[in-house]
Structure 1
């Protein structure tokens, strides 16, 4: 590269790159000329005959991104005729030094501006150098990777300096913040291999040594480093007026669904040693220290070598690698080799096939042959040739094809700076890519592209097994014409469908394009590709006809189908999950139809293995809310986030990944975080409009199923808003003053509206506030002193029962603690057990009289059902008159927790176990049916898949056996209820 250090772009701009059309070329040349005069740019830009000017106009005609960048920032061309390679190197060095600033501007916003300015310049100039042929695709990837590494390294240094300034850590060398820090930042994938795409995301993982000697005693690096990494992600990927630097993905870390963004080195090594997967081994082939303590990074990778490159592979590992091969070949193919709409990365004959060709052989032989441990794909191809694993012809063909395809990939991304790998479907779009690639016609480009793709496919096919299609295994699948194909009907029958004629008719409807989702030829092509696996999956499900017809109803309402069909093609597990949803859960199927983007969450590989804990939800909520500053936008994002997470919790429940109890806790935790976020937004809005009240404190008290962490899908949330302040007779401080009662009533009204007002994104939660003191007649918000007085002196027995399920949900921590103390005091009041039992029994009798169960499946209201169990638990709790503070604080206690804690004090062991066993059964059934259905559950109208799932979770052979089981459990619970809570003799006892 040093030989060209003195050369300018003018010397390379004669390479044949053809403009998209004369009109765009002339417009670009005209704007260049005008900009030269207006912005004092080099004079030759006004010369339409100048070779470099003509090249720039050509480039702008081909790339809207480059043209728009020039229009917004004409200064990008200030030095266009100066030596070019040094400019690129200088920009990268400026990015590396972005954490420093001689003027002392060292905030996050300052480094964000500097990095974005540098990224804009490197992206612009690298694209021009690439198009001009001044740098090769190999050098393009190297420049982009070096810049990305520099940007990450500068951000890490900035964050360490920032943390040191807050006395959270001590730097070994302030001029080299990362030196000896023990913080390991690895570039993964193409970043690690210096093969970065033009518009690529960057994949990084971060580890740290807690004993590196830089962390302060009072600050735990396990909480400090993840916080810094969240800032790193924001600094790099948040879109501002200056653009963004890189979309940053940290999901290649160990068990990303349940681990922090930064992990101790020892914990990471232990994970890889004990639980590491073969796909993770493949990922680490390309890993490279790019930031932080580079020496520590090299040491870490040295310790990883035995995991990545095993000296001896056992048969199970070899089988796993072959399984990966088959999956890649069968499910990442995107159909046959093509040009229009072809995916040059994942499609047949694409870049991924070359990479996989290399990596599997590196995994197999790299343990015994260190020379195969190359990060770059082309280096590994050459090493395989030298080791005689492949011949020279294979190496040369795959290397040539690799850089040709990478070159095409860069042009696809240069068009609009989008991370796409798919060639345009239309002729005009394809011509743009052809001319950016140096071809005057699409025919010439297509010929070269097909030659590369077929070369890769041929070499790949010799190494990997060929997929046997379903049609080849089972028979015909023909859905053309008006009449049924006899062979196809037989195939459908063999696949498990009971009404093959109806199924054939439905599928012909899809192929005729009668739905919006199947109107385009591209959509029908994708659908045809997934048809064998789709029918196989539906056919093997119980009552597959019914499930496929539900999928048909889903398709009929889908606005477009290409994206979904492509996802199903590339994710076989997602296809099976879709089948399960259509078989068992029409409510979830409706959600998918309304919110197509919700499918993205179903692609998370940890979806079925990870319970949505508070940490899990907090991390995703923070990421989802990043960049939303306007109040209304934040409320809409909360609605989207809550809907998606409720859906994903439902998926886990339907597939049996979590229990009914776990679903209730997850749904409640989700509601807690969402209500807290809404409350903070409301308080901020109130402060802006009405100011604050001196000494104000506000919190939300959760009641009902929200209070006992037992929410179900579609549950209302029962809440009470509590407040306190220095002077209840004072006024607020803002421009529009309010007295204290009206101030907090307005807070409550706004909170209810924030949660329940319908927007374009729906409703968060319906809010029920009838459990506040004096019910509907009471004030919307209650002062803590009034709440305490009411509960101690005026509340009825049923209100104390309700309070036993309550817990402070969110808001001011000190008010939450004070509220907990009030609840403790109320629950700790001594009560006569006989009087209490009679009051509760009478209350249950009134409910049974006024609101009887609709059927034996009304598990809440049937004798011996959920209400009986809840009343038993609440009796046990109140009868013990033990403040929850004595058992670890006013924490969340589910009905089962209450039974486990207080039941032994009141009930016989056998009775307690019977009640808890019935509660678990009822909870599993209630959670599942409410997740799957919009209406109440009745076996005669329920989907077959749901019936099958219910029988499975109850370990019953059929629904008749399940009905008998429920009747038995209900009878046992009712007998225990009657024994424990004999009817009151005096109706007034209920007061």
Structure 2
């Protein structure tokens, strides 16, 4: 026979219960409980168990509220003693979940109030007894609130349906599709609810869920009022939670329930920094959860801004300063306290009397502000920082290097200590208080509840921790420039400042005239007092950095063009003040690259591309966030239209980052090319995924069918340069047994709103290809994501935009020209289902292998390559020595040699899409002399390096004589790239390099 299991021992034994501060209260509770136990016929062994007397003494001697709960509900208390808090909380939440929408309002109210009383006692004992961590305590409180809200909302929605006020899709599951949702804000949103907390809510409804309903506003406002009554009205059973609806948009002028369009319009146009901070914790907790998520996605750009916005730090600092002035009038600043005060227990205690643990100096709100400010500044660009919990956010900030580990650990220690103290304060009388006791006697009593030996000991423990936290807060929110020097654009000694910064005498008058233009209201960015104060503080650094460049006046003029384009001068200037390294980076661009300087002036958002390296000390090799950001945004996107603007910003920012790194010599051409190509690969994969999903929703799915994207040219060889387009080929495949047409899924929308019609398999994939290319090339404010060239597909521009795998194989087996097979040596399958990717790679290998089985075939390949190069030289001649690609012995010659010899070799071991890697493989395979391989590999690197730098300096259109029209700083950068000290030396070096390459071409391919 199976033996009966022994129930686990109660968890109360050997717990470190606090001593009773009020011995009489402890004795009374013990006496009352013994009487109640007999009166209710409860198990005497539970009361006699080890540790229970100490537990009751701790409650009776420290917390009248908890002692009252024991007296009020002895039977639940007995079950709690027997089962422990984990099982007790599970049973409480199960009872709330078992409530049905059709239960009476009186039953629901009574059940929720009983659940609140019993959970309050169970959670308090788990907290006081050290059975649960802070996270477990706050999560249990939050789950209790969520469960109560869920039960209340389901009941209210069903009641509205039953009385004919609204029509629900599924009355048995009333929340789904109702459009009515509660957003939890603050600590409930973050699942960090404190012991006696209010719950902050925003109540929303989506009118589109009830089309044509004219009285929706009144119904949902009344429902919100009923919800508040259910939650916070006090009766004989107590109350559930106090509710606060004041975090909704413009609470003094808006109803308690807000329609989606009004809420979205408010945040898009009028939302403030504190509301962004509040929305980092927003979470739908009851009602139509899917609708709540739709709303949060709609305001996502308001909360998580892609562009770094350091103004948020100043805004939160101002907010905290106002709190300090109101809450701490007459109190000495915590960070300025002397060591004597902090470490003298008596003085420390007196300083803490009546101190606000939440809003006071060194308090909970300061820890939260540090975490939220850094999240708001960086979270738009680093989604991994978006943790609504304070402790979780601190861990993530430390992990990403945005917060020093020691500071993160100190803030976390302060937060845990203060939340523990806050809970003990609130447990005493169930008051939403954060203030420490105001008298020495009451402070000493509270110290006993905190398990310290008197008020002096408690203060000696708390105050140094809080002071350290306050100092971290002040460092994070300090003005970077502090009270240091500033320059007034209208100052009489402005000429002296310019001369001291390095401006030559001839440049000082025009510089003065330009700076004086900044002092009035002529520039939109400088119309606010705050912007002008920031500018005066920044001017010494700006003038010094510009004065160190080759052409300070040009730098100043180009910076003026940037400033004139800024809509929000405070954001831009705050960004510079908080990131001094960014000023250096901008100065280098303004001085050295006319093209990038113009781009920066016309597109202020391009600054994003400079920020990673300007604000992060990590090596760039370890910092490749852009492709990861692409994947994250694509994963969250619900449509191609939604994700395209985000991807354009990411691509532009990454391109600018790479170009500036090249300009400053921090990155060589190979690393930049790999990073640029990696970004393009991520975009291609992401868009293929989203476009294919939309296409399938619209037109159905071809069973077993799929499309892959093949990159050729520079994208295929991972050698993309600034401005490189994408040479693409789209290849689809499907099983032979698939029918000739595909039917859309039932109910799927058709193009233009027409009824769904069957679509032939070929046109199905052609439409998919057009949608994909359309997404890549769709115009935006700064142009498309990429220009796309598809002329390398079979039959060129006359062929279909997507080719079947069978047609691809047949074409290259029967009809392909030598130049097409040469282009195919750089083919790389970038995106598509794994099985099709593998099959297509095999097909490419088959198309390239065996093309040179005979000596005659090899001679034909070489002759075709030679003739084609000769025709290019005739039809598209070089424009001069700086035409790196087309000049004799230039980049095209190197690439032709590598491609033709790969075809001649006819084996995969001698091939690679990368020119430099292919040259090495050809040498190892015996198809290229090692000396030629070294020469060509070096030439390939040097030519690509110079060509990419020319594009960075001048853009896509190269001047006929680049050197003649550029500044000394630009010439210096270009000569550095060539590896020469003067223009004549550079031209001579390039000529010798080109002659060597042309000689190799003649020897290996043939004369031109």
Q: Does TM, normalized by the shorter one, top 0.5?
A: yes
Match of residue 751 from structure 1: 772
| Structure 2: distance between partners of 1:196 and 1:950 | 49
| Structure 2: distance between partners of 1:466 and 1:629 | 45
Match of residue 552 from structure 1: 560
Pair 1:976-2:1000 in alignment: yes
Preserved contact between residue 607 and residue 652 of structure 1 (Cα < 8 Å): no
Match of residue 599 from structure 1: 607
Out of 690, 696, 700, the residue aligned to residue 691 of structure 1 is 700
Pair 1:854-2:879 in alignment: yes
Q: How does 1:365-380 map onto structure 2 within 5 Å?
A: none
| Structure 1: distance between partners of 2:970 and 2:928 | 35
Match of residue 794 from structure 2: 773
Deviation of the 1:548 alpha carbon: 2.1
| Structure 2: distance between partners of 1:704 and 1:773 | 15
> Any idea what the Cα deviations from partners look like across 1:659-690, whole Å, max 9, x if unmatched?
11111111111111101111111111111111
Match of residue 732 from structure 1: 742
Pair 1:876-2:896 in alignment: no
Out of 501, 511, 526, the residue aligned to residue 519 of structure 2 is 511
> Any idea what the Cα deviations from partners look like across 1:933-973, whole Å, max 9, x if unmatched?
32215122335433222222343223332222212211111
Partner secondary structure for residue 743 of structure 2: coil
Partner secondary structure for residue 780 of structure 2: coil
Aligned length: 650
Deviation of the 1:231 alpha carbon: 11
> Any idea what the Cα deviations from partners look like across 1:556-580, whole Å, max 9, x if unmatched?
2222321111111221101101111
| Structure 1: distance between partners of 2:580 and 2:384 | 34
Deviation of the 1:857 alpha carbon: 0.7
CA gap 1:896/1:660 in 2 versus in 1, 3 angstroms = same
Deviation of the 1:536 alpha carbon: 0.7
Partner secondary structure for residue 701 of structure 1: strand
Preserved contact between residue 141 and residue 195 of structure 1 (Cα < 8 Å): no
Out of 709, 713, 718, the residue aligned to residue 704 of structure 1 is 713
CA gap 1:37/1:489 in 2 versus in 1, 3 angstroms = closer
| Structure 1: distance between partners of 2:838 and 2:883 | 37
Preserved contact between residue 755 and residue 764 of structure 1 (Cα < 8 Å): yes
Give the gaps of 5 or more residues in structure 1: 9-32, 47-55, 75-97, 114-126, 146-189, 205-229, 238-243, 258-277, 292-377, 385-394, 410-419, 423-452, 472-476, 985-991
| Structure 1: distance between partners of 2:293 and 2:246 | 34
CA gap 1:966/1:610 in 2 versus in 1, 3 angstroms = same
Q: CA RMSD in A?
A: 5.1
Preserved contact between residue 375 and residue 393 of structure 2 (Cα < 8 Å): yes
Pair 1:673-2:682 in alignment: yes
Match of residue 966 from structure 1: 990
| Structure 1: distance between partners of 2:539 and 2:232 | 59
| Structure 2: distance between partners of 1:974 and 1:43 | 85
Deviation of the 1:626 alpha carbon: 5.9
Out of 613, 630, 633, the residue aligned to residue 621 of structure 1 is 630
Pair 1:630-2:653 in alignment: no
CA gap 1:916/1:254 in 2 versus in 1, 3 angstroms = farther
| Structure 1: distance between partners of 2:549 and 2:712 | 41
Partner secondary structure for residue 506 of structure 1: helix
Match of residue 656 from structure 1: 665
Preserved contact between residue 609 and residue 652 of structure 2 (Cα < 8 Å): no
| Structure 2: distance between partners of 1:860 and 1:756 | 25
Q: How does 1:280-429 map onto structure 2 within 5 Å?
A: 280-286=405-411
CA gap 1:861/1:909 in 2 versus in 1, 3 angstroms = same
Pair 1:720-2:734 in alignment: no
CA gap 1:793/1:603 in 2 versus in 1, 3 angstroms = same
Match of residue 825 from structure 1: 846
| Structure 2: distance between partners of 1:804 and 1:402 | 62
Deviation of the 1:805 alpha carbon: 0.5
Out of 570, 578, 587, the residue aligned to residue 579 of structure 1 is 587
Pair 1:950-2:974 in alignment: yes
Partner secondary structure for residue 723 of structure 1: strand
Pair 1:898-2:918 in alignment: yes
| Structure 1: distance between partners of 2:650 and 2:945 | 25
> Any idea what the Cα deviations from partners look like across 1:733-758, whole Å, max 9, x if unmatched?
21332111111111111111101011
Pair 1:924-2:945 in alignment: yes
Deviation of the 1:202 alpha carbon: 8.3
Partner secondary structure for residue 513 of structure 1: coil
Give the gaps of 5 or more residues in structure 2: 1-20, 22-58, 69-220, 235-241, 260-282, 298-319, 329-352, 377-381, 417-458, 745-755
Partner secondary structure for residue 939 of structure 1: helix
Pair 1:866-2:866 in alignment: no
Greater RCO, 1 or 2 (C-alpha within 8 Å, sep 6+) = 1
Deviation of the 1:609 alpha carbon: 4.9
Rg larger in 1 or in 2? 2
Preserved contact between residue 586 and residue 932 of structure 1 (Cα < 8 Å): yes
Pair 1:480-2:490 in alignment: yes
Moved more, 936-945 or 729-738: 936-945
| Structure 2: distance between partners of 1:623 and 1:679 | 15
Q: How does 1:524-543 map onto structure 2 within 5 Å?
A: 524-543=532-551
Q: How does 1:783-798 map onto structure 2 within 5 Å?
A: 783-798=804-819
CA gap 1:908/1:279 in 2 versus in 1, 3 angstroms = same
Partner secondary structure for residue 679 of structure 2: helix
Moved more, 806-815 or 926-935: 926-935
Deviation of the 1:516 alpha carbon: 1.8
| Structure 2: distance between partners of 1:975 and 1:592 | 42
Out of 816, 829, 836, the residue aligned to residue 861 of structure 2 is 836
Preserved contact between residue 525 and residue 563 of structure 2 (Cα < 8 Å): yes
Match of residue 357 from structure 2: 138
Deviation of the 1:692 alpha carbon: 1.4
Pair 1:71-2:71 in alignment: no
Match of residue 296 from structure 1: none
Preserved contact between residue 700 and residue 722 of structure 1 (Cα < 8 Å): yes
CA gap 1:627/1:233 in 2 versus in 1, 3 angstroms = farther
Q: How does 1:164-203 map onto structure 2 within 5 Å?
A: 195-197=367-369, 200=372
CA gap 1:485/1:809 in 2 versus in 1, 3 angstroms = closer
Preserved contact between residue 60 and residue 67 of structure 1 (Cα < 8 Å): no
> Any idea what the Cα deviations from partners look like across 1:372-394, whole Å, max 9, x if unmatched?
xxxxxx9799559xxxxxxxxxx
| Structure 2: distance between partners of 1:694 and 1:980 | 49
Deviation of the 1:553 alpha carbon: 2.0
CA gap 1:530/1:739 in 2 versus in 1, 3 angstroms = same
CA gap 1:42/1:731 in 2 versus in 1, 3 angstroms = closer
Preserved contact between residue 489 and residue 501 of structure 1 (Cα < 8 Å): no
CA gap 1:517/1:232 in 2 versus in 1, 3 angstroms = closer
| Structure 1: distance between partners of 2:383 and 2:515 | 50
| Structure 1: distance between partners of 2:654 and 2:249 | 37
Deviation of the 1:511 alpha carbon: 2.0
| Structure 2: distance between partners of 1:249 and 1:764 | 35
| Structure 1: distance between partners of 2:651 and 2:973 | 25
Preserved contact between residue 664 and residue 927 of structure 1 (Cα < 8 Å): no
